């Protein structure tokens, strides 16, 4: 079941290359700390700067290292439908449990164009598909009616919604059905998303605080919203301060403090500035992350 705290994994680099050993260790640590699922090669994984071979390698490492302990939802998004379909096939070949496919960015397709994009991906693979709607990055917004049409495709099982519009949860339920998995794409709104009927979050903060994020989502799943609010308040600074500079630079800086990887990022992302580093350190302390 895809639910709970699902980490949008950063991709560690060393000397300009994917650091496979650091990635393996990081994935194993995430699972041991309680993360309920892993999402390699999403936005937080700097996928737009990965070569095709690196993208496939990152998915393969994640699948192999996780070894069936938690679901792997591999990012395959592209604004080129043929490229997205190709990467979806590679993710299936690597053994991913599902793929995460973003609305085509930059091209500004119509609602029909977006539907056809996801239809092609659906026809290409047999594994499950989670749709990723993030208008802030892709410019286009998958509207509720279109999401209903997409949800009817045979292997589409849910959505990662990063619109921050909590009313979407109810609206999607009305057109996609009760079984349609709804995941928040924004840590700060995950609490409200759960309250409206969502069942988890594809999280950036869980890169740095996997145990704390897992505990927060467990409280939400159990309906203990008093406990969940307390955990949310401890994590709120981390939720926000990991975006004070372009992501994932702050998250990688935090992970470097934990000895998990270098803080190396790829252009056009640059290392975070000193003021952000100080804020991240303070947020980590408040969240109970020891470094």
Instruction: Say whether 102 sits in a helix, a strand or coil.
Output: strand
Q: How many residues does the chain have?
A: 291
Whether the predicted pLDDT of 272 surpasses 90: yes
| pLDDT, tens only, 165-223 | 999 999 999 999 999 999 999 999 999 999 999 999 999 999 999 999 999 999 999 99
Q: In this model, does residue 229 exceed pLDDT 90?
A: yes
**In angstroms, how far apart are the furthest CA atoms of the chain?**
49
CA neighbours within 13 Å on the CB side: how many for 265? 24
- 128, 160, 252, 277: the active-site residue: 160
**Residue whose entry in the numeric block shows the structure tokens 């990965």:** 50
CB distance 227 to 246 below 8 Å: no
Average pLDDT, whole number, for the chain? 97
| Amino acid 253: pLDDT | 98
Alpha carbon dihedral 228, 229, 234, 235, in 10-degree steps, equals 70
In order of their start, the domains of the chain are 4-222 (3.20.20.70)
Which residues are registered as beta bridge partners of 130? 100, 158
Q: Which phi and psi angles does 202 have, rounded to 5°?
A: -90, 105
Contact in structure between 261 and 253 (CB atoms under 8 Å)? no
The residue annotated as part of the active site, out of 23, 115, 128, 132, is 132
| Residue 35 in tokens | 């993360």
pLDDT tens readout for residues 88-103: 999 999 999 999 999 9
Band (pLDDT 50/70/90 cuts) for residue 144 is very high
Asked whether 153 and 177 are in contact (CB, 8 A), the reply is no
Q: Is 132 a catalytic residue?
A: yes
Mean pLDDT value across residues 32-44:
98
Rounded CA-CA distance 13/193 in Å is 33
CA dihedral 10, 12, 16, 21 (to 10 degrees): -150
Confidence of residue 140 (pLDDT cuts 50, 70, 90): very high
Residue 1 has pLDDT above 90, yes or no: no
- In the residue annotation, 14 being an active-site residue is answered as no
* Confidence at residue 121, expressed as pLDDT on a 0 to 100 scale: 98
pLDDT higher than threshold 90 for residue 40:
yes
Residue 15, by phi and psi: left (phi above 0), alpha (psi -120 to 50) or beta? Answer: left
pLDDT greater than 90 at residue 6: yes
Q: Rounded CA gap, 110 and 31, in Å?
A: 39
pLDDT of residue 138: 94
């Amino acid at each position: 079941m895809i639910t709970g705290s699902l980490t949008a994994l950063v991709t560690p680099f060393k000397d300009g290359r994917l650091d496979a050993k650091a990635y393996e260790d990081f994935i194993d640590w995430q699972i041991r700390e309680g993360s309920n699922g892993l999402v390699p090669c999403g936005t937080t994984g700097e996928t737009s700067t990965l070569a095709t071979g690196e993208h496939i390698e990152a998915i393969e490492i994640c699948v192999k290292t996780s070894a069936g302990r938690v679901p792997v939802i591999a990012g395959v998004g592209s604004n080129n439908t043929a490229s997205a379909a190709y990467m979806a096939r590679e993710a299936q070949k690597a053994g991913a449990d599902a793929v995460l496919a973003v609305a085509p960015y930059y091209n500004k397709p119509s609602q029909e164009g977006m539907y056809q994009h996801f239809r092609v991906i659906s026809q290409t693979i047999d594994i499950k598909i989670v749709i990723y709607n993030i208008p802030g990055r892709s410019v286009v917004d998958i509207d509720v009616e279109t999401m209903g049409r997409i949800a009817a495709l045979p292997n589409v099982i849910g959505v990662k919604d990063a619109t921050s519009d909590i009313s979407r949860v109810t609206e999607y339920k009305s057109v996609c059905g009760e079984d349609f998995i709804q995941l928040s794409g924004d840590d700060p709104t995950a609490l409200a998303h759960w309250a409206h009927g969502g069942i988890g979050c594809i999280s950036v903060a869980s890169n740095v605080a996997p145990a704390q994020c897992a505990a927060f989502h467990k409280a939400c799943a159990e309906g203990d919203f008093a406990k969940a609010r307390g955990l949310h308040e401890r994590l709120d600074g981390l939720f926000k301060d990991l975006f004070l500079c372009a992501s994932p630079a702050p998250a990688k800086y935090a992970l470097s403090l934990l000895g998990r990887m270098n803080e190396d990022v790829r252009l056009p992302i640059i290392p975070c500035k000193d003021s952000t580093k100080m804020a991240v350190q303070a947020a980590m302390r408040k969240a109970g992350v020891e470094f």
